[in-house]
Chain A
Amino acid sequence: MKDEQHNRSDIRPAKNNDRQGAPEPRSAEENRIWEALEQARQNVKSVVKKELDAEIVTSELLNLRLRNLPR
């Protein structure tokens, strides 16, 4: 019973209600800021892509053996 209540959106704290659903800009100025943020996302996209690729591990790397090498 408690779990069901926990998942009901109408009993969430009032402060969080404005965080539900897709956001809409509250003013023209906010719309401009959001557009700038979206443009910024495009600006840094290639950097982020490169770093996301680095988290995909190749089997060659997984098999890299770390041991004592002669100095």
Chain B
Amino acid sequence: MIQSHAHLYPEGKILLIPFQKEFWREFAAPSGWVEETWPPIQLRYLGEYLANLQCRTILVETHYIDRDYVYDTASFYARNLRSYPNYCQRLHFFCEAFDEARWRSLLKDANRGEMSRSLNFLEKGYLGFSVVRPLPGSPIGRTVLPTLSSKADAGCVREFHSVRDYVVHLGGFRLSVSGLAFQQQDQGVSACATTALWSSLHHVAYKEHLYVPTPAEITEAAARYSLAGGRSLPQEGLNLQQICEAIRYFGLSPLIVEAQPIEQGIEHDKAQLLGYIASGFAPLLAIRPLATFEGMQRTGGHALCSVGLKMSDQAHQTNENFAFRDSASRVVGLYVHDDRLGPYAFAKLSQYTVKRTAQVRTGVTIGWPDGQPDEEAVLEALVVPLPPKVRLTITRMRALGLSLAQATGQLMPNLEKKVAVGYRYVLAPDYRAEALRFGLSDEGAYTLNCETVLSRYLGLLEFGGPDGPLYDVLMDSTETPANPAALACVCRHGLAAKEMEIVDSFAHRIHAQLIK
């Protein structure tokens, strides 16, 4: 009789494992010769990160269909000699210690009308999840973990602008985690650029109500018209042109900003990073490790997805000729998804002097959760997936913002050159809602909320002094460089009556409506 190769429906189980920092020990090393080292760095990093989150228990769903992996299988792994299953396992992490008996009792209680009690216990302890792919050398699939707390060391804060809520269904319980999806590159359908873009689109496309593509779909879209290295699969990296092509394919508009040397204390790159990251556009960062940077040719780089910022509490003056402080001077570092390391890795920004040119460039040192540096690199460029109607760039916002900040610092000497200027995009409904807490006059609040037509995304310039916010300038983000784009100047509580006359004159000069 011929033996049937048809598979039966797989069985699913829930297993409970106590968490250990050496998380990688839960994974079997691949049998046979592997080109990469074992355990993968990502597994060791996740163990450290989860330990920082006080993880105590891992709950394993042994059968889980993951949308991203199913597409990867359909595009690539289904044609391998080895028969890869189309399903994964999913690990759920909890900061509460519990065993299988407790899990069964939680379900039993829910079944007997005590759903809220069981749910409370699970919600309180839930940290996040990680999909484990049946790929021996690159098991870490879609992983969503919470960020670290906002309080960082030495007067610094962590700000995460590109996180969203992910809903998780676990055995009839509905849980959620706020974070940004991370995964390890599999080198089959995705390399670093694909996974970085995948993470970025998990936030930007989702926020814009667009389709969130899988890694396989990103690689296909990127390689439709241009193949940088010959073949698209297995994936061996994308160039910036291909990344732009994929961004356009999924309904967004790519903006590339090339990194600039630091001259006279002006850190252009920090300004661009601040503007786009603080707006939640999760820019991709193209970096080059120091080892390859000193060469004459741009031989190849690495891609990261930026998720957040580490900011010092006060901006400082970077150029003595200026009567203001640029908020970019507050940027100490970034939090990035580095698919060669892990999620929310800290990337310290510093000044690096290039040996062959003596130029000072933005250095990036990516580190482990315990602060140990992993790799040093130099920033080459940002690729920002923008909504198509956002035409006004951070640079053009800064052109007006820096002029106004300089004039404000000179015309308001009582501020002692402590005027700080910030710049970001904000959704108009969000700004309107926030402005109702500014203490505007009734007429001003009515004018802003009911009589001022605003673009969906606003370019927001924020001017602040030692005693708080001074005024905001709202810019039309849909406007082209040829046309003025200022819509309104909104007075804030830090502005004295006499200073309001100056802002009124600014508003008149830039054709903006004064709202007070």
Contacts and interface: CB of A to CB of B under 8 A. Distances in A.
Contact of A40 (B243, B244, B300, B407): B407
Nearest to B375: A71
B404 A55 contact: no
Nearest to B301: A66
A9 B229 CA distance: 56
Contacts of B196: 66
Given A19-B513, A68-B187, A40 B508 contact: no
A61 B506 contact: no
A68 B403 contact: no
Contacts of B311: none
A41 B403 contact: yes
Interface string A5-31: 000000001011001000101100110
Nearest to A26: B508
| Most interface-central of B375, B407, B502, B506 (chain A CB within 10 A) | B407
A17 to B, nearest CB: 11
B488 to A, nearest CB: 10
Contacts of B410: 36, 39-40
A69 B185 CA distance: 13
A37 B410 CA distance: 9
A56 B393 CA distance: 12
Given A15-B513, A64-B239, A40 B403 contact: yes
Contact of A66 (B263, B303, B402, B512): B303
Contacts of A67: 191-193, 229, 236-238, 300-302
Interface residues of B, number: 65
Contacts of A53: 260
A47 interface: yes
A51 to B, nearest CB: 4
B505 A16 contact: no
Contacts of A44: 322, 399, 402-403, 406
Contacts of A26: 508
Given A33-B506, A41-B403, A54-B395, A66 B286 contact: yes
22 contacts: A15-B451, A19-B513, A37-B404, A37-B506, A40-B407, A41-B403, A43-B406, A44-B399, A50-B260, A50-B266, A51-B395, A54-B258, A54-B260, A57-B240, A65-B237, A65-B301, A66-B303, A67-B192, A67-B301, A68-B192, A69-B292, A69-B301
Given A23-B511, A69-B300, 6 more contacts: A40-B402, A47-B398, A52-B396, A55-B258, A61-B298, A71-B375
Interface of A: 13, 15-16, 19, 23, 25-26, 29-30, 33-34, 36-37, 39-41, 43-44, 47-48, 50-58, 60-69, 71
